[in-house]
Structure 1
């Protein structure tokens, strides 16, 4: 490990192990090193698989003949195609509490890295809070917040390591995941989502240096890691709204500092990547070209410019342009 003078020491502290002083480095929770045999160690990169320790048992329980069928596929397609960014909401129409609760219940089923769930959603409904939130928005986004009966404010957790004990307890109680896997979570989350620019620079150097020897995780900044996970939740929220016949408008034109102040979101821990106003689209005048369903859809690049087969630039053929 001559490429980094102190990497042997760092690797030992990170819970890595190299059998016989040769070969690839292996990962194991530090607390387990003394009682484990080299032959049972897991590859370092395996600790970063969100399905580690659980995938095999879950696959055994899958009924491979079950499916949502054509009706389910058709319903999902309609929900996806019905979703578009709504420019104006009907301020006279409200969302039933049970509908909103059902949407949020589906949203919370979204996947996140290691099931850490590093996000929160604050639902703004009262007129007083809508006024305060609208004052934090830029341009026409203010009017959308005032018109829409509901606006969902998604906050990304910038200290996800604090969530790990709760995740361990939840996974242990609900799914009975192996302790060996649960013991890796603190290190895995800290490695991928640890704080500090210096820490990120070191992790990037470390994984880049190790990559020629064995697969290593790509290291994002803490903000990017949490934003990625929060964006998944926001996507599920918008599709759930579409399924329930509601319209949405995702917005990033706002002052996140002011939003956190008004909504009492701890600025030392969270950041706001996305705000989604939700409701019913304002009926368009008969002369509006957007009354045509096709006109509502924003255009997309040709599939062959975005989706590739096997290698970048090799177009994947046969994809319909919806």
Structure 2
């Protein structure tokens, strides 16, 4: 695997082939990418709605109406669409749930390690909850880390993708009852295989030059 080749080959797919579907084995790997993505202090403040059926994609497409209608076909013609959702608050009950899950998974060889993990996590979470007062934005940042992992990972699998920030968050929150569950929609990623009509597949990549974006010290 050559990461440069993957980075150069992936692009934002503008048109999907509606007749090509992601195989189950690849979908299993995609779910693993989402589940095992890194997050600050292993906070995992996310939920994913994966639409693979026509009915499911129609529900996601309710967020692509009005000013977002240009993205409707990217949802309906994709093989699958992942709606990324972020927690709206991170309370002590959730932190206890995280700690109990890690304990059950064998993360703490000694009780002291468990207490240390709890303390360190509390420091960072409380920084955002009580000092910076930006916990929702902080949790959305973790969701975007996950999205980046997904985009690179699916490219390595030979699957095309396009991230969609141009969606109606309020409409999707209502469609899936997300606010009542303690989440908000953030963005979506459509996955599948490019159409032969996708103009963007034929265009060269354009990025700022290395000497402008890198400082080596």
Q: TM-score range by the shorter chain?
A: 0.7 to 0.9
Partner of 1:176: 108
Deviation at 1:267, TM superposition (A): 4.9
Q: Secondary structure at the match of 2:179?
A: coil
Q: Which of the numbers 27, 37, 40 marks the counterpart of 1:110?
A: 37
Partner of 1:191: 126
Q: Which moved more, 1:139-148 or 1:263-272?
A: 263-272
- Are the counterparts in 2 of residues 152 and 276 from structure 1 also a CA contact under 8 Å? yes
Q: Which of the numbers 137, 143, 164 marks the counterpart of 2:73?
A: 143
Deviation per residue, 1:65-92 (Å, 9 max, x gap): xxxxxxx4x2x32222221100010011
Partner of 1:306: 213
Q: Under a length normalisation based on structure 1, what TM-score does the superposition of the two structures give?
A: 0.60
Between Structure 1 and Structure 2, how many residues are aligned?
Answer: 209
> If each structure's helix is expressed as a fraction of its own residues, which one has the higher value?
2
- Are the counterparts in 2 of residues 154 and 272 from structure 1 also a CA contact under 8 Å? yes
- Are the counterparts in 1 of residues 13 and 201 from structure 2 also a CA contact under 8 Å? no
Deviation per residue, 1:97-152 (Å, 9 max, x gap): 22111122123222111111111111012212212221211131111111111100
Inter-partner Cα distance in structure 2 for 1:223 and 1:279: 30
Give unpaired runs (5+ residues) of structure 2: none
Deviation at 1:296, TM superposition (A): 4.2
Deviation at 1:276, TM superposition (A): 0.4
Partner of 2:168: 255
Q: Under a length normalisation based on structure 2, what TM-score does the superposition of the two structures give?
A: 0.86
Inter-partner Cα distance in structure 1 for 2:39 and 2:46: 9
- Asked which structure has the greater RCO (Cα within 8 Å, sep 6+), the reply is 2
Inter-partner Cα distance in structure 2 for 1:188 and 1:291: 46
Superposition map of 1:1-322 within 5 A: 72=1, 74=2, 76-137=3-64, 138-161=68-91, 162-173=93-104, 174-176=106-108, 178-185=113-120, 187-194=122-129, 199=130, 203=131, 219=132, 221-267=134-180, 269-284=182-197, 292=202, 295-297=203-205, 299-310=206-217
Q: CA RMSD in A?
A: 2.2
Give unpaired runs (5+ residues) of structure 1: 1-71, 204-218, 311-322
Inter-partner Cα distance in structure 1 for 2:164 and 2:176: 17
